Amino acid sequence: MSFITVGNALGCTINSHRRGWDGSICKNAETWNCSAKQQFRTDYCQQGDPRCYHIHIFEGDNPYCLIDDLGIGWLLEPYPDALNNQVLLFWGKRFQEPRGISDINTRPKDYVFGAYRVRNVSQQKINEFKTLWKIEPYPDGWTRFQQPYILTVYYKSIIGGVYLKEVNRVAVENMFEKAAEQAHSPHPNWHGSQDAERFHNFHANLHEWFEIAREDALKIQQNMVRTYTSRSTGSTIIRSPFVDSLKNLDLKKTSPSSTASVTNKQTSNKNSVSTYPLLEKENVKEKIKNDYSKEVLDAVMAVSLTKNILILTGHPGVGKSTLAINLIDDHERKLIVPVGSTWRGREDLLGYVNPISNEFEPTDFTKFLCKAEQAWRKHDKRTFLVIFEEFNLSQPEYWFSDILVRSQYPDDQEKLRMIELGGKGIRGITTNGSKVFISPALRFVVTINNDHTTLSLSPRVLDRASIIELTLEPRATLMRAKVKLDEQQIMAIEEIDALLKYKNAMFSLRAADSLKRCLDDLELLDMHSGWDALDVVLLQQVLTKVRLMVGDPANENLIQGLEEWSENYGKHLRRCTSLINSWIEALKDGRDVIQA
């Protein structure tokens, strides 16, 4: 997703200041790690120079946050009002006195320090080369927590820009509910009485402010549409920073004259552009854009013009094979080749010479090459597609070298694009004797995984190919599988996915498909609710992928996150919670968690 989902909150990372920090320069800044660079803390903070962007965030009289143009200019330059009335969280890394953030812990946990309801954003021009953005809250629309609140909500980066994160609205409301419960403890640890008042006011109005934020975001979208429909000339691309019902609208308008010039340009460049593309139909392009993103579609289109080998990478279940198979819908011009881990030479791919008959025994791949050659010689320039599944199970240079080299020669260099197979001829094929021609219309799409069962691709292969990494967020995965869940169930999936993705245990398309089948047959499975189905699918297809080693320092944060997840959803997901508890007990007993 390239922009912000309407209705969600936003978040960004700030330096981790001490509890009760009042906006003043930190004492002993050189020895206290707030995540700013050591040189900055020495040159500025330690000398009392207030250049820290975050020093005024929770200042009582006039709070504001400064953000460098590199971090947020991508959004605010074209849309200065994009953050107005939006809910913005501030978080930073876990710290403890007296040293601040630990340098030893490579993945310290995040804490939420407070939040703004943004009133205004203004541009601060420092000099010709440097710009800052000043974010100011409403006087009654900012708060800091009585103590840094552990960030357990699910958030994700916004592709297309840095610094800002997108945070699920319901998760934010739940977080404030829990923080409010802590505030009612017998000895609340507020820095001052005004902090308590600000928090309670923010909490009381949060739901209403989210509604206003949503309405304002929709108005920005509507303005984009009016601007689009009022323009009859020009080719400017106008896009809203917020994604909702308009996320698939291509806001691009060209005049008849400009269209004609584009057509003429395409015609004049006809000989310089590939006539055998990876994508042949508009509906396939639209499907790729909807299922993944416009960025993935653009990447595939670029490969059509630049390379004849496309490498699709991504976690298992993300849809690599599905995308490859859907590129061309003509089964006669498409072949799937599963790569074997024992492949060590070209005979595994192409075939071998029969020592008795002296004929070459072709594989399905070689027969497909011959079919593509026959079509080419009949002036059929349509694309012929070969899909290699699990391309890096064996080192491709062992068995793919001939194809790799021959397919790189120019289209008119027929001798150089020919492979000598050996023997007196190819069994069942009467043309060309024992040679096979690598048709220029052949395109290769390969899928790879990156785990302990696979091998790394060499520069020789990578230089001749283009790589596209496919990712799917859990919400998008559910939409693709047409699974309907309530918001709390989706949040449970998002949060467990965020926790376990570093263990390669993501919620995949296969898991979403399984969940849909279970939901469609609850009675047959003797399940009482969608939670029961989700409990079984997460247990069987997500948690079973996890491996935990005793003594691994990364497990500390993971286990803490899993415990919090179990507290939030254990009432509904009892099987998953029971398994997680067994992991915790095993690690305490000094036993590794290896489930299969």
Which of the given ranges, 225-229, 233-237, 564-568, has the highest pLDDT on average? 564-568
Helix-helix angle 487-500:169-183, to 10 degrees: 90
Give the type of residue at 369. Answer: L
Token output for 119? 């009133």
pLDDT of amino acid 312: 93
- Classify domain 282-469 by CATH number: 3.40.50.300
- Computed over every residue of the chain, the mean pLDDT equals 83
pLDDT of amino acid 268: 42
Q: Per DSSP, what are the bridge partners of residue 176?
A: none
Q: What is the 3-state secondary structure (H, E, C) of 379-415?
A: CCCCCEEEEEECHHHCCHHHHCHHHHHHCCCCCCCCC
Instruction: Give the Cβ contact number of residue 343 at 10 Å.
Output: 17
- Asked whether the predicted pLDDT for residue 567 surpasses 60, the reply is yes
Q: Average of pLDDT values for 416-442?
A: 89
pLDDT of amino acid 256: 44
- Asked whether 430 and 379 are in contact (CB, 8 A), the reply is no
- Asked whether 340 and 393 are in contact (CB, 8 A), the reply is yes
Token output for 170? 């319901």
CA gap 55, 113 in Å, rounded: 13
CA gap 233, 223 in Å, rounded: 18
Token output for 537? 């699918």
pLDDT of amino acid 243: 64
Instruction: Give the Cβ contact number of residue 60 at 10 Å.
Output: 12
Instruction: Give the Cβ contact number of residue 29 at 10 Å.
Output: 21
- Asked whether the predicted pLDDT for residue 88 surpasses 60, the reply is yes
Q: Kindly give, in sequence order, each residue whose CB lies less than 8 Å from that of residue 556, ignoring residues fewer than 6 positions away.
A: none
- Asked whether 148 and 189 are in contact (CB, 8 A), the reply is no
- Asked whether the predicted pLDDT for residue 432 surpasses 90, the reply is no
Q: For the chain, what is the radius of gyration of the CA atoms? A: 29
Which SS3 state, helix, strand or coil, does residue 270 take?
A: helix
Q: Average of pLDDT values for 471-476?
A: 85
pLDDT, tens only, 396-416: 988 999 999 999 898 889 999
Put simply, whether the predicted model's pTM sits higher than 0.85 gets the answer no
- Asked whether the predicted pLDDT for residue 345 surpasses 80, the reply is yes
pLDDT of amino acid 186: 66
Q: Average of pLDDT values for 339-360?
A: 93
pLDDT of amino acid 273: 41
Instruction: Give the Cβ contact number of residue 366 at 10 Å.
Output: 19
Q: Average of pLDDT values for 219-228?
A: 61
- Asked whether the predicted pLDDT for residue 235 surpasses 60, the reply is no
- Lowest mean pLDDT segment, chosen from 203-207, 272-276, 340-344, 465-469: 272-276
Token output for 78? 């074209």
Rounded to 5°, the CA angle 250-160-449 comes to 100
Question: How many residues does the structure list for the chain?
Answer: 596
pLDDT: is 360 or 45 the higher one? 360
Q: Average of pLDDT values for 226-254?
A: 47
Binned at pLDDT 50, 70 and 90, residue 384 comes out as very high
Binned at pLDDT 50, 70 and 90, residue 228 comes out as very low
pLDDT of amino acid 366: 95
Q: Average of pLDDT values for 423-447?
A: 89
CA gap 519, 524 in Å, rounded: 10
Alpha helices in 278-429 (DSSP H): 282-291, 294-306, 320-326, 346-350, 364-377, 396-399, 401-406
pLDDT, tens only, 506-545: 899 999 999 999 999 999 999 999 999 999 999 999 999 9
- Asked whether 382 and 441 are in contact (CB, 8 A), the reply is yes
Binned at pLDDT 50, 70 and 90, residue 1 comes out as very low
Binned at pLDDT 50, 70 and 90, residue 244 comes out as low
User: In the chain, where are the structural domains located?
Assistant: 4-222, 282-469, 474-594
Rounded to 5°, the CA angle 135-137-139 comes to 145
- Asked whether 141 and 117 are in contact (CB, 8 A), the reply is yes
CA gap 76, 53 in Å, rounded: 17
Residue carrying the six token digits 């497990």: 555
CA gap 324, 381 in Å, rounded: 20
pLDDT of amino acid 501: 83
Q: Average of pLDDT values for 280-296?
A: 85
CA gap 328, 285 in Å, rounded: 11
CA gap 423, 443 in Å, rounded: 27
CA gap 26, 18 in Å, rounded: 8
- Asked whether the predicted pLDDT for residue 590 surpasses 80, the reply is yes
